[in-house]
Amino acid sequence: MRTFAALLVNTAVANISTMFMWFGLTFWIYLETHNVLSTALIGAALMIFVALSSMFFGTLVDRFRKKPVMAWGTGIALAVFVADALFFFAMGAEAIADLSRPWFWIFAIVMLAGAVVEQLRGIAMSTAVTLLVPEERRAKANGAVGAVDGVSMLVTSALSGLAIGYLGMGWTLVIGVAAVALAFAHLLTLPIGEPEVIGSGEAATGWVDIRGGWRAVRAADGLLFLVIFTALNNFVGGVFMALMDPYGLELMPVQQWGFAFAFASTGFIVGGVIVSMIGLGKNPTRTMLLLAAVTGAIGMAFTIREWAWLFVVGTWVYMALIPAVEAAEQTVIQKVVPYHQQGRVFGFARTFEASAAPVTSFAIGPVAEFIVIPHLRAPEGEAEWAWLLGTGDVRGIALIFVCAGAVTVILALGALTLPQYRAISRQYAQATSSRDA
C-alpha cells in the first residue's frame, strides 16, 4: 500500500502536468477565436487518439512490467511536449491562433499525441491496483484514484485559467513541460515490485491483441454489456466534453471560469474520497447504472437557466458522481478478469468507450455552432423555448445539455432491466480474486 500511495502521488503530478497544458490549449484557442467548433474538434481528436491507441497500450501493459511501461509513456510524452513548445515559440502565438492556417492544427495534434501517450499510464495504473492492492480494498483504491483525478482537475483548471489570463500560452507550455519532467524523474526512482511478467500461455497475436482482448471480455458473462453501456454513455459524454468550456467561458471571464471549474472539480475529490471510504456496495454495476441516471438528471437541470451559480453547482454535483461511475467498471474488471489479461481488457474497453465521445463531439460542434445556437439567439427561437430554458445568449447550448441528459437517464434506467445486467452482477458476486486467478 505504501508503493501504491507513492504511485498515486506520481500519477497526480503527471496528470496535473498534462492537463495543465491541455486546459490551457482549450481556454486559449476559444478566447482567441470564440469558436465552439474549434474546442469540439480538439476534444474529439483527443478521444480519437485514445481510441486508436488503447488496444496497443493494453497489449504493452500485459507484455511488460508496469514500471517500465509507465516510464516509457511519461518519457515519450515529455519529448513530444518539448518539441511542441519549441514549435510554438518558433512560429509565434499569432500565427498559431489563426485557424485558417495549418500551424494551429499541427500544434494541437502534436500536443494531443503527447497527451495520448500519457494515457498509457492510466491503463497501467488500473492493472497496478490489482497488483498492489488486496481484492477487498480495490473499490476503495479505485476511489482514491478518482480523488487524485479530481485534485488534478482542481489544480489545473485554476492554474490554467490564471496562466492563460495573465501569462499567455507560451509560459503555460514552459511550466507544463517542467512539471512533466519532474514527474518523469520521480517515477524513475519509484520501486514497483513485479519480479516477472505473468504470461497467459496464449499464442502471440501481434502488438495490438484485439483478439485476446475480445476473448477475455467474452469470457466474463455480461462484461461486454458493461463495456457497451459505458460506450453509449460516452456518446452523451461527448456533448459535455464539447460544450462545457464554451458555456462557462460565455458566462464569465477565463480567470473566473478557471476558479469556478476548480471549485467544481472539488466534487471529483469528494466523490473519490467517499468511494475510497465506503466502497461501491455489493453490486458495483448497479451502483454505476443508478448514478449514471442521476448524472443525466443533473445534465438536464444545471443549464435550465442562464445562472452561473447553477451551472457551477450542477457541475460540482455531476463531478462528485463520476468517480463512483468510473471506479465501478474498474472494480468489476479487476475481479472478473485474470490479472495477465487485464491490460488488454482495459485497452479493449477504452477503445470502444473513447471512440464514442468524439463521434458526438464532432457532430455536436457544427450542430451547435451553425444551427442550434443561432436559432435560439434569434427572437423567435428564444421565445419558442423560453418556457423551458428562460432567456439568454447561450440557450442553444443549454438545450443540447437538456437533451443529452434525458438520453443518459433513459439509457441507464433501461440497462437495469436487461438480462446482461443480471449476468454481470452474478459473475462479480461469484468470482474469486483475479490476482489469484
CB-CB contact of 42 with 358 (8 Å): no
Task: Tell whether 437 is covered by a domain.
Answer: no
Whole-angstrom distance, CA of residue 318 vs CA of residue 404: 14
Whole-angstrom distance, CA of residue 288 vs CA of residue 278: 15
Task: Tell whether 41 is covered by a domain.
Answer: yes
Query: By three-state DSSP, how is residue 195 classified?
Result: coil
Task: Tell whether 156 is covered by a domain.
Answer: yes
Where are the alpha helices (H) located in 252-307, listed in sequence order? 254-278, 284-301
Output the domain CATH number for residue 280: 1.20.1250.20
Task: Tell whether 102 is covered by a domain.
Answer: yes
Instruction: Name the grid cell of 220.
Output: 466474463
Per-residue pLDDT of the chain (437 residues; tens, 9 = 90+): 677 777 888 888 887 888 888 888 888 877 777 776 677 677 667 777 777 777 777 777 777 777 888 888 888 889 999 999 999 999 888 888 887 788 888 888 888 888 887 777 777 777 778 777 777 777 777 777 777 766 666 667 677 778 888 888 888 899 989 988 998 988 888 777 665 554 444 444 555 666 767 777 777 777 888 888 877 777 777 777 678 888 888 888 877 887 887 788 788 778 888 888 888 888 999 999 999 999 999 989 999 999 999 999 999 998 888 888 888 888 888 888 877 777 778 777 777 766 666 667 667 777 887 888 888 988 888 889 999 998 888 899 999 999 989 989 999 999 999 998 998 888 888 876 544 44
Task: Tell whether 201 is covered by a domain.
Answer: no
Whole-angstrom distance, CA of residue 437 vs CA of residue 434: 5
pTM above 0.85, yes or no: no
Residue 96's domain comprises 2-190+206-430
Whole-angstrom distance, CA of residue 10 vs CA of residue 4: 10
DSSP, residue by residue, 111-141: HHHHHHHHHHHHHHHHHHHHHHS-GGGHHHH
Residue type present at position 283: N
Task: Tell whether 195 is covered by a domain.
Answer: no
DSSP, residue by residue, 31-66: HHH--HHHHHHHHHHHHHHHHHHHHHHHHHHHHS-H
Task: Tell whether 25 is covered by a domain.
Answer: yes
Which residue has cell 451551472?
A: 311
CB-CB contact of 265 with 153 (8 Å): yes
- Quick: pLDDT tens for 63-86: 777 788 888 888 888 999 999 999
Rg over CA atoms, the chain: 21
Whole-angstrom distance, CA of residue 20 vs CA of residue 230: 26
* Alpha-carbon dihedral sign for residues 323, 326, 329, 334: negative
- Count of the separate structural domains present in the chain: 1
